[in-house]
Structure 1
Amino acid sequence: MSGYPREPTREDTDVIGARIGAQIIDNVLMLVIFFGAVFLYMAVGSATGSEGVFTGFGFLLGGGVALFYRFFLEGYWDGYTVGKKLFGIKVVKEDGRPCSYGASFGRNLLRIIDGMFYFAVGFIFMAMSDERQRLGDRVANTVVVREEPSRAPETQREREMEASRELSFDS
């Protein structure tokens, strides 16, 4: 797992539009997974004459997979879900380390609160945070960042290193 090459800056977390797009993609995928499992088990149940049992199992399996989709992928796939990968963003710890399963579980468990009133609660928390963190991100000490860091050097040391590189190329 790679995490992030440095501690994320405010510019690295300026990904609200990409977060919305990734959320839409991930929700569509979760619905496909959920209804795919339900319809598959309904068909099996209908063919065997045990429709109620198989349909119930389909709901449980589909719901379980949909619930653990984000938690599992963010912990396993270096902070990505399919939607995040498509939009070029990922979840990392505040210090740039990779997102762990525990951090992913915490941030996604609180998605229930962040998602209230069509994610208005999450947007309010993001607006009040320099790093644009939802409540779940704050509790889990995570941030959502661009895949690649912003090019603007943020620290004095990075500015000095950039200036020395420019001088060596000019000579």
Structure 2
Amino acid sequence: MGTEGDVIGRRIGAIIIDIVLIAIVSSVISGILAQVRLAFLGSLFGLVIGFGYYIYLEGTYGQTVGKMALDIVVVTEDGDPIEYGPAAIRTVLRIVDALPAFYLIGIVAVLVTDRKQRLGDIVADTVVVRAGETGSMR
């Protein structure tokens, strides 16, 4: 189908939406924990929320809230729905893709790869396409 290159702007928008949502939820939880003198757990919960958000939503639906809003979906390179394993791989490698700042490695990878994949996509054998355009991708 070759739609991977058509979603670069949508991917950036989805990342921004997702980061804002995670930051809001993490801030609320950190604030609550600070009130009960457990502020030291705030960072840990923020990390768990961030990882859990991506793994659960992409593993279950192939989309985060940001991807849903911008009508894109993560699928296998064959166009099938992804599962929790590839979702977890993509999520863990967000750490590398985000380096050194502002997802620079991920953006460069998307710009130079034929299927417009960031490092997490390459390792997990996934691509991001417009929703509804799944199916045989090879």
TM-score by length of 2: 0.89
Match of 1:21 among 13, 38, 56: 13
The one-letter amino acid of 2:57's match is L
What are the superposed Cα offsets for residues 26-77 of structure 1, whole Å, 9 maximum, x if unpaired? 000110111111101222x1xxxxx2xx212333223311222111110012
What are the superposed Cα offsets for residues 87-127 of structure 1, whole Å, 9 maximum, x if unpaired? 00010000011111000111111111111132221122112
The one-letter amino acid of 1:11's match is T
Instruction: Tell me if the contact between 2:18 and 2:65 (Cα under 8 Å) persists in the aligned partners.
Output: yes
Instruction: Tell me if the contact between 1:33 and 1:66 (Cα under 8 Å) persists in the aligned partners.
Output: no
- What's 1:41 paired with? 33
Instruction: Tell me if the contact between 1:12 and 1:149 (Cα under 8 Å) persists in the aligned partners.
Output: no
How far, CA to CA, are the matches of 1:11 and 1:19 in structure 2?
13
Match of 2:124 among 120, 132, 140: 140
1:20 positional shift = 0.5
How far, CA to CA, are the matches of 1:67 and 1:106 in structure 2?
11
Q: Gaps (5+ residues) in structure 2?
A: none
| Percentage of identical aligned residues | 40
How far, CA to CA, are the matches of 1:62 and 1:135 in structure 2?
23
Max Rg structure:
1
RMSD: 2.0
How far, CA to CA, are the matches of 2:121 and 2:113 in structure 1?
10
Secondary structure of 1:15's counterpart equals: helix
Instruction: Tell me if the contact between 1:88 and 1:147 (Cα under 8 Å) persists in the aligned partners.
Output: yes
The one-letter amino acid of 1:80's match is Q
Match of 1:30 among 11, 22, 27: 22
Secondary structure of 2:132's counterpart equals: coil
TM-score by length of 1: 0.73
Q: Gaps (5+ residues) in structure 1?
A: 1-8, 46-50, 155-171
